[in-house]
A = this chain, B = another copy of it.
Amino acid sequence: MGEPHDHHPALDALPLAVDTRPSVLDQFTIDETGRPGGRPRGVVHPTGLEEVLAVVGWARDTRTPLICRGAGTSLEGHLLARGDELIVDLSQANSILEIAPADFTATVQPGVTRATLNAATQHYGLQFTVDPGADASLGGMAATNASGTTGVRYGGMRANVLALQAVFADGTHARLGRAVHKSSSGYDLRDLLIGSAGTLGIITELTVRLHPIPEWLRSLRISFPTVAAAVDAAVDMLGAALPVSRLELVDAVSIAAINAYRGTAHAQAPALFVDLEAGSAAAADADEAEIDRIARGHGALDIALARTHTDRYALWEDRHNLFFALKARYPGHRFLVTDTAVPYSKIAGAVATATRLGAELGLEASVAGHIGDGNVHAVVPYTEATREAAQQFSDRVVRHALEVGGTATGEHGIGLTKKRYLREEHGPAADLMTAIKRTLDPLGLLNPGKVLDA
């Protein structure tokens, strides 16, 4: 890397300015997976539909594959190049086209990030709820069907994207869905694009749902003697139809890392972080009491309650800093994060399996999970010496999830790293996916080799 790169003659025909500086292109050869990627041929920065159409026309003419990217926060190798691709960086297609507060919708270009959108909608009392942690772009979030901590109440991208505009490999573009809350009109191409990781089309516009910012919020951190008790309490909260908007499990290893990093002295035990939303103070009081009752019924060791904005922020800071706490605890390590989702009744078993597998493989696994979605993230720090063990850990965690009826990826996507599980998870439906890919992208121009081999 770093040496001059053969200039691809087709680049001269590109209707957009293309950057081919080796120092720039080398940035696209690495990502969170730690896998080496190839150096792409160049990178372009289209600002909207017309420029994307021009790039796709050029790609068809020159048979050059395209990799689209937004904020570049993929965790599963979605953006790694083989070497023959052009990177289509959509971060400059970043206009908020319309906020329609009366319709609870916003229409944006794909490069708009969720924080940017929320900054623009908050003075209407509205929020875009999907929160994967990173300040990802909305186009990228749609491409991976991202979700995160608020999925338990608001769902992920699939529940929050009403309509898309996309450019297809044949050079056409179309609107998929309309900006209404409900439709039974025709085939659901919108959801086909969502989660397709840029392999079926390029998202050039999104209309998303906005939700009211609740007036009354309460947050709780509740420690439990065991993971199983914490999970049972969480499921009982769901069973009581309480308006929880976040329901996060953090295991004892994670709490130890947080205590060390933040100087806190929380009980070194599994904990739930809970957000509760209500339409009035009285309703919030009543729901909070019910959560307290359920938690104590499952042997809660300690219940911390935050009612003010300041206190709530401080309580959640522990959870938000978890990854930094782990990085501090394991200096010089890389981190592998699993992303399985399982039925509720299998969550405690999935956490126990991750802990056990970590011990067997000589890795210190910690677990955090979006309980309301059954989505379990096991995190293992690794070095070059333990990279292979970390890969084995991931593989065995995924196979366990598949065995108990779960999915290899709850919210990160298949990308490159989880491709080997696609057929195991979907069986013959994987052939239908391939058939659809070949129908919509017969030349293999769109993010080839991701999700499917096709």
- Which A residues lie at the B interface, using CB under 8 A? 100, 102-105, 125, 144-147, 151, 155-156, 158-159, 168, 172-176, 178-189, 191-192, 194-196, 200, 211-212, 214-215, 235, 238-243, 277-283, 285-287, 289-290, 339, 341-345, 370, 372-375, 405-414, 418, 421-422, 425-433, 435-437, 439-440, 451-452
Minimal Cβ-Cβ distance residue in B for A280: B286
Q: A183-B341, A280-B289, A341-B183 are in contact. Are A433 and B189 (CB under 8 A)?
A: yes
Partner of A184, one of B145, B189, B211, B289: B145
Q: List 29 A-B contacts (CB under 8 A).
A: A102-B344, A103-B344, A145-B183, A147-B182, A151-B182, A168-B432, A172-B431, A173-B428, A174-B429, A176-B426, A178-B425, A179-B343, A182-B341, A182-B407, A183-B407, A185-B408, A185-B425, A186-B195, A186-B414, A186-B425, A186-B433, A186-B452, A187-B192, A187-B437, A188-B194, A215-B241, A241-B277, A243-B243, A280-B283
Extra contacts, 20 of them, besides A145-B188, A182-B374, A185-B422 (Cβ < 8 A), are A100-B343, A103-B343, A103-B345, A146-B184, A155-B159, A173-B428, A180-B407, A181-B341, A185-B421, A186-B195, A186-B426, A186-B430, A187-B192, A188-B188, A211-B241, A212-B241, A241-B277, A279-B286, A280-B289, A435-B439
| Most B-side CB within 10 Å, residue of A194, A341, A411 | A341
Residues on B with beta carbons closer than 8 Å to the beta carbon of A211: 241
Bound: A99/B407 CA distance, A:
20
Bound: A180/B172 CA distance, A:
35
Are A178 and B280 within 8 A (Cβ)? no
Are B287 and A283 within 8 A (Cβ)? yes
Bound: A103/B436 CA distance, A:
32
Bound: A285/B195 CA distance, A:
41
Are A290 and B280 within 8 A (Cβ)? yes
Bound: A304/B53 CA distance, A:
56
